[in-house]
Amino acid sequence: MHQFKQSELLTRLPEQFFAKLVQKVQMLANEGHDIINLGQGNPDLPTPKHIVEELKTAADNSQYHKYSPFRGQQFLKDAIAEFYKREYQVEIDPNTEVAILFGAKTGLVEISQCLLNAGDLALVPDPGYPDYMSGIAMANAETAYMPLKRENDFLPDYHAISEHDLDRAKLMFLNYPNNPTSAIATKSFFDETIEIAKKHQICVVHDFAYGAIGFDGEKPQSFLQSEGAKEIGVEMYTLSKTYNMAGWRVGFAVGNQSVIESINLIQDHVYVSLFSGIQQAAAKALLAEQQNVVELVQTYQARRDKFVRKLHEIGWRVEAPKGTFFAWLPVPEGFTSEQFADLLLEKAHVVVAPGNGFGESGEGYVRLGLLDDEDRLVEAAERIGRLGIF
């Protein structure tokens, strides 16, 4: 059989770091071990019932069995605008400032293809979500990393970026509440970001995937709540985390009109929008009573509190996450991130993601998802405790 050579684009793509982790886990599971898998970011609870019911009803609408409008249903764009007004007091024009996405991941990859040419520069948080890199590679562009350090509350330090890189950069990725560090951003940080971006003409992409998940009564800031944000950037939101709709693949970008038009344009060539039944259910999720979201955040906070308390009991000095459903935990002395993750997998049968998988500055940490019930999280901590490391 003839082996057809892959395009240069495919050979440029970064290695999928977590594919390796999944293989290791599968091997142990096949041997019959009881694995507690806290290594991935897949919500463990079901989509709220009223959203599922809406899809069931919508699936009967024969109009929806035809192609959807290329750029999505107007009713979903209207719902997105209403959602932003209600949640963040931000005015969005549903006709010119909204692009509907096949999950936020798609938008985060596409935006590099929309705005970057070969050799252009993008600023990326380190550690950060690996798919930012995929889009940059597809655009054949270059990357400068912004280290997220604990002493700076895991926010990039703009003074540490060279003027040369700031002048060259066309795109900057940010993500708060942050995956993997679970840090949250302040309004003053976003204000400063806008100032820098305006000065250097950089388009800011704020990945707001965990926008709903802030703890201790703190509501995470939307980037668009800062004055001038729409002039220089967009925010990408997904229904995956807020409404446990990860498998439904529905998200959206809001903000700068020229960027929204570019996203819509590339999607005109790749998709014919989402199934309208899913769009109807998504609109229902955004507009209905939000009690489910409140309860979801309470669930994650209860898990966090119990788990962190247990880790302190076993002697692991960690800080409680401020947002997201992740915990970013320092690795004990004498281990690299991967060595420690391997040890937890092999000896405690607990899966965590090594921090270096998210970038060089992730070394020295592991990321763990609060994505199992409280008893299993406590058991995971107890298993780690029995290794006698702390």
DSSP-assigned states of every residue in 278-317: HHHHHHHHHHS--HHHHHHHHHHHHHHHHHHHHHHHTT--
Do the domain assignments include residue 131? yes
Question: Is 53 inside a domain boundary?
Answer: no
264 and 305 share one domain: no
Determine the pLDDT at residue 192.
Answer: 98
Same domain, residue pair 154 and 88: yes
- 3, part of any domain: no
* Domain boundary pick from 245, 268, 287: 287
Give me the pLDDT at residue 23, please: 85
Residue 215 shares a structural domain with residue 70: yes
Q: Is 363 inside any structural domain?
A: yes
pLDDT on residue 223: 98
Q: How far apart are CA 352 and CA 315, in angstroms?
A: 18
pLDDT digit string (tens) for the chain, length 390 residues: 999 999 999 999 888 777 778 888 888 889 998 999 999 888 999 999 999 999 999 999 999 999 999 999 999 999 999 999 999 999 999 999 999 999 999 999 999 999 999 999 999 999 999 999 999 999 999 999 999 999 999 999 999 999 999 999 999 999 999 999 999 999 999 999 999 999 999 999 999 999 999 999 999 999 999 999 999 999 999 999 999 999 999 999 999 999 999 999 999 999 999 999 999 999 999 999 999 999 999 999 999 999 999 999 999 999 999 999 999 999 999 999 999 999 999 999 999 999 999 999 999 999 999 999 999 999 999 999 999 898
Query: Is 25 part of a structural domain of the chain?
Result: yes
Show Cβ contacts of residue 202 under 8 Å, excluding neighbours closer than 6 positions.
123, 166, 169, 170, 171, 172, 196, 232
Domain-terminating residue out of 229, 256, 287: 287
276 with 299, same domain: the answer is: no
CATH number at residue 340: 3.90.1150.10
- Same structural domain for residues 201 and 326? no
190 and 96 part of one domain: yes
Q: What pLDDT, on a 0 to 100 scale, did the predictor assign at position 206?
A: 98
Paired residues of 125 in beta bridges: 146
Name the residue among 77, 132, 141 with its Cα closest to residue 110: 132
> Is residue 198 domain-shared with residue 273, that is, in the same domain?
yes
- Same domain (yes/no): 301, 282: no
Residue 15: its pLDDT value, please? 81
| Structural domain total, the chain | 2
For residue 206, give its domain range: 65-287
pLDDT score recorded for residue 285: 98
Do 70 and 121 belong together in one domain?
Answer: yes
Tell me, yes or no, whether 262 and 220 share the same domain: yes
Report yes or no on 160 lying in a domain: yes
Tokens of 207: 């990945």
| CA 378 to centroid of chain Cα atoms | 25
Same domain, yes or no, for 39 and 97? Answer: no
The number of CA neighbours under 13 Å toward the Cβ of 203 is 22
What three-state secondary structure class fits 256? coil
pLDDT the model gives residue 24: 83
- Structural domain contains residue 57: no
* 254 and 296 belong to one structural domain: no
Which pLDDT value is given to residue 333? 92
CA atoms within 13 A on the CB side of 294: 6
- pLDDT value of residue 18: 75
What are the Cα distances from residue 22, in Å, to 195, 196, 219?
41, 39, 33
Contact present, 99 and 80 (Cβ < 8 Å) = no
Let me know if residue 55 belongs to a domain: no
The predicted structure's pLDDT at residue 303? 97
Of 243, 265, 287, at which residue does a domain stop?
Answer: 287
- Looking up residue 175, the CATH number of its domain turns out to be 3.40.640.10
